[in-house]
Structure 1
Amino acid sequence: MLASLVGFLGDFDKAEEAAQEAFTIAAERWPVSGEPANPGAWLVTTARNRAIDRIRRERTLAEKIHLLPVPEATMDEFDDTVIKDERLELIFTCCHPALPLDGQVALTLRALGGLQTAEIARAFLVSEETMKRRLTRAKTKIKATGIPFAVPAAHLLPERVDAVLAVIYLIYNEGYGGRVDLGAEAIRLGQVLAALMPDEPEVRGLLALMMIHHARRRARFSGEDLVLLEDQDRSLWDTHQIEAGQAVLDKAIALGGRGAYVLQAAIASLQTSEEIDWPQVAELYRRLVELTGSAVVELNRAVALAQAGDPDAGLQAIDRLDLDGYLYFHSARGELLRRLGRDDEARAAYSRALDLATSTPEQRFLTQRLEEF
């Protein structure tokens, strides 16, 4: 709905106001008159008409009203498929190169994924106030520079795809943390992008990565308890989706894919094996570190080294990292210290991780770990 309104109005703030007003009207009317046959169409049409009325009332914008034709179509003509197709245009609007990369990703998460500012701030490991400023700057830049609401021409797509992939991946990560609707939406967007750019291996790499991870989502939790990979009930995995994801990965590799998303998908694929080849996983993480320079990726490589049978090497690698504000740094460090019999240090690491945990499953898992000492 928001994507449709941004495309119609060309303004994020006005689109959000119109959407909120339409939902308010629906909340007042529908309990009395009943839900319309096409709720999505009703909301979009109502929002558009309210936005036009608002612009007409604002004298300073009176000269612009001729640019906003009153929609003559009936509500039934605005179906969900049209609105969903416009989401890809919204992603490319948010991911315009005139915006800084962090602003591109943050704005798309806010506008397309419907995430709250606090949730986006956690994804970026920054304060909520910092994220508010980023979002405001990004919206202002789009409005001031007249960034178009459109999918770029084919020759411009390669230079724009990195930011779009980052957006889709962060949306997926929110879904993987428990918001399954967002995980499925990220996969759908990945499929649309793969159809749009069939010869881009990194697009297929990201799609494969999300599909393989998503196939294991039912096994990641037992009630409110987090279940580690080695303890998961594999009968709960969606084997058909894993095979489909692996087929997408094979196509990415056949296209010459050696980028970050292809490597991550290959790691995810290895982790679906009955006997996981941890040395190979560690090697793929090493290549990923070379590509990204990411301390978080290095943390994953350290864990893989420990899983391969060398917890000392894993702990040494972790202790070289500067990730004090990162939950999984402390939980991974606590696990390796526990395996090495350094219980006092392990307890301290788990306690620090618990201080940083924000979700109930993470808090329960870390509490259980502390109670085992």
Structure 2
Amino acid sequence: MIDAMTAHTHPDAIHRALDTLWRMESPRLLARIARMTGNIDTAEELAQDVLLGALERWPRDGLPDNPAAWLMTAAKHRAIDHLRQRALHARKQDEFGKELELHGADMQGDEAPDKADDDIGDDLLRLLFVACHPVLPMESRVALTLRLLGGLSTPEIARAFLQAEPTVAQRIVRAKRTLSKAAVAFEVPRKAELPERLDAVLEVLYLVFNEGYAATAGEDWMRPALCEEALRLGRVLVGLLPNQAEVFGLLALMELQASRIPARTEVDGTPILLPEQNRARWDRLQIQRGLAALEHAQRLGGASGAYALQAAIAACHARAVQMQNTDWSRIAALYGQLLQVMPSPVVELNRAVAVSRAQGAAAGLVIVDALEDARQLRDYAPLPAVRGDLLQQLGRVDEAREAFALAASLTGNARERAVLLARARACEASADSP
């Protein structure tokens, strides 16, 4: 972290630090302001005011001792000011007094610690269920929550959905407008109302975790803070819904995948792909937690659920102490089962990788080539990346080089692009050598 003295002489460093912090903290600020004001659009406007205030003050005054606390305090003050103005404009001082009383825990000043306000005590979880309200179509619930909870940009959400950016942008705008008109309360629903929102909530956590595990854009290979937040909320959910198998299935998947994070990059952030990872660096305790959650999901009868099946695939990797011990035949079979409950060209692409490991690159390439006309994968970088890998294994290095170059042109992640371009150069060098 940058100290105040450094900040005065390096404003660019302050801006970079704030950008990183904002990606991590903005969902919490939005959640708190939205609960206080009862309006998502207002929360986004006030959060932007907080960001502008930090951009103005921090380069001048230096980085605060606790930057996250500074942002949260500023967010609360913006919300309080907004409530005051709203009450004054409506000439309802008595209403404002009630709002002050209602939100008293938030309005006791900078020194007041954050406390749980109900049996959940989690503003982010509250916002998650609001955005997943049944008044919205499923696609809108997921898109809006990724925007608010995951802090994802519209282009990032569009890539996650494999859809056009204008479509996703319109979906988010309409969703916020619908929630505002319906005057949806910012609260966690009663347990009887939870199941009807659960599918969207789980899908959002799944996509937020995936964006953290393999960022679709930016300079970093991963965004671990998103993984940690998705995991935290997943753990809260299993406490809320102890008899829901898919909740445990998703938690198992996230725990098992997150166990690899320490081994996925070099010290400088360079990606390390699965075959080259040092499995001694995988978090064995987290693997045990993931396996326990998977077993619980299976005991609840959820072995064939989409998340439990993916967790079972992750478990195959986790149980293999060395790459060569991986049961690729079982993984390919599990992907086949997953296709039955979650038909998707992305799942089929993953199955192709498993088939190539179990039966050889030629067998996998047949599946990949059949996916080349899939509309959803037209601009999907992993498709030519997988194809390049299989072609390279088969010695077709010129074709492999072209595939890696195409994949590099499609990805929005700088780290991934560097890896793909390096592989393309390696193919070119191999082709030029005697």
Same fold (TM over 0.5): yes
SS at match of 1:96: coil
**2:99 aligned with 1:69:** yes
Which residue of the partner structure matches residue 11 of structure 1?
39
Q: Which moved more, 1:340-349 or 1:132-141?
A: 340-349
Q: Which moved more, 1:176-185 or 1:1-10?
A: 1-10
How far 1:361 sits from its partner (Å)? 1.9
**2:392 aligned with 1:338:** yes
**2:190 aligned with 1:190:** no
Q: Is the 8 A contact 2:249 2:308 kept in 1?
A: yes
State how far apart, in whole Å, the 2-side matches of 1:301 and 1:40 are: 44
Q: 1:360 to 1:63 in 2, by over 3 A?
A: same
Which residue of the partner structure matches residue 287 of structure 1?
337
**2:156 aligned with 1:111:** no
**2:336 aligned with 1:299:** no
State how far apart, in whole Å, the 2-side matches of 1:33 and 1:270 are: 45
Q: Is the 8 A contact 1:107 1:135 kept in 2?
A: yes
Q: Out of 364, 367, 379, which is 1:317 matched to?
A: 367
Q: Out of 102, 106, 120, which is 2:157 matched to?
A: 120
Q: 1:95 to 1:65 in 2, by over 3 A?
A: farther
Number of equivalences: 371
How far 1:251 sits from its partner (Å)? 0.9
State how far apart, in whole Å, the 1-side matches of 2:261 and 2:289 are: 16
Write out aligned runs for 1:192-231 (5 A).
192-222=236-266, 223-231=268-276
How far 1:43 sits from its partner (Å)? 2.7
Q: Is the 8 A contact 2:87 2:95 kept in 1?
A: no
% of aligned pairs identical? 41
SS at match of 2:133: coil
How far 1:127 sits from its partner (Å)? 3.4
How far 1:116 sits from its partner (Å)? 2.2
Q: 1:36 to 1:247 in 2, by over 3 A?
A: closer
What is the root-mean-square deviation in Å for CA atoms of aligned residues? 2.5
State how far apart, in whole Å, the 2-side matches of 1:74 and 1:205 are: 41
How far 1:353 sits from its partner (Å)? 0.6
How far 1:114 sits from its partner (Å)? 2.0
Q: Is the 8 A contact 1:40 1:78 kept in 2?
A: no
SS at match of 2:84: helix
Q: Give, as a single letter, the amino acid of the residue that structure 2 aligns with 1:337.
A: L
Q: Out of 69, 89, 98, which is 2:126 matched to?
A: 89
State how far apart, in whole Å, the 1-side matches of 2:76 and 2:207 are: 31
How far 1:109 sits from its partner (Å)? 1.6
State how far apart, in whole Å, the 2-side matches of 1:343 and 1:28 are: 52
SS at match of 1:97: coil
Which residue of the partner structure matches residue 252 of structure 1?
297
Q: 1:116 to 1:62 in 2, by over 3 A?
A: farther
Q: 1:132 to 1:309 in 2, by over 3 A?
A: same
State how far apart, in whole Å, the 2-side matches of 1:64 and 1:320 are: 67
SS at match of 1:308: helix
State how far apart, in whole Å, the 2-side matches of 1:29 and 1:351 are: 43
State how far apart, in whole Å, the 2-side matches of 1:14 and 1:65 are: 22
Provide TM-score, normalisation by structure 1.
Answer: 0.91
Q: Is the 8 A contact 2:50 2:71 kept in 1?
A: no
Segments of structure 2 that go 5 or more residues without pairing to the other structure are 1-28, 215-221, 428-434
How far 1:45 sits from its partner (Å)? 3.1
**2:233 aligned with 1:179:** no
Q: 1:33 to 1:285 in 2, by over 3 A?
A: closer
Which residue of the partner structure matches residue 11 of structure 2?
none
Q: Out of 165, 170, 173, which is 1:136 matched to?
A: 173
State how far apart, in whole Å, the 2-side matches of 1:64 and 1:90 are: 28
State how far apart, in whole Å, the 2-side matches of 1:9 and 1:65 are: 16
Q: Which moved more, 1:256-265 or 1:224-233?
A: 224-233
Provide TM-score, normalisation by structure 2.
Answer: 0.79
State how far apart, in whole Å, the 1-side matches of 2:63 and 2:395 are: 67
State how far apart, in whole Å, the 2-side matches of 1:93 and 1:78 are: 24
Q: Give, as a single letter, the amino acid of the residue that structure 2 aligns with 1:4.
A: R
Q: 1:326 to 1:27 in 2, by over 3 A?
A: closer
Q: Which moved more, 1:48-57 or 1:260-269?
A: 48-57
State how far apart, in whole Å, the 1-side matches of 2:81 and 2:346 are: 46
State how far apart, in whole Å, the 2-side matches of 1:153 and 1:203 are: 17
Which residue of the partner structure matches residue 349 of structure 1?
403
Q: Is the 8 A contact 1:41 1:79 kept in 2?
A: no
Q: Give, as a single letter, the amino acid of the residue that structure 2 aligns with 1:95.
A: C
Q: 1:332 to 1:155 in 2, by over 3 A?
A: same
Q: 1:200 to 1:99 in 2, by over 3 A?
A: same
Q: Give, as a single letter, the amino acid of the residue that structure 1 aligns with 2:350.
A: N
**2:281 aligned with 1:236:** yes
Q: Out of 358, 368, 381, which is 1:308 matched to?
A: 358
How far 1:56 sits from its partner (Å)? 4.2
Q: Is the 8 A contact 1:190 1:207 kept in 2?
A: yes
Segments of structure 1 that go 5 or more residues without pairing to the other structure are none
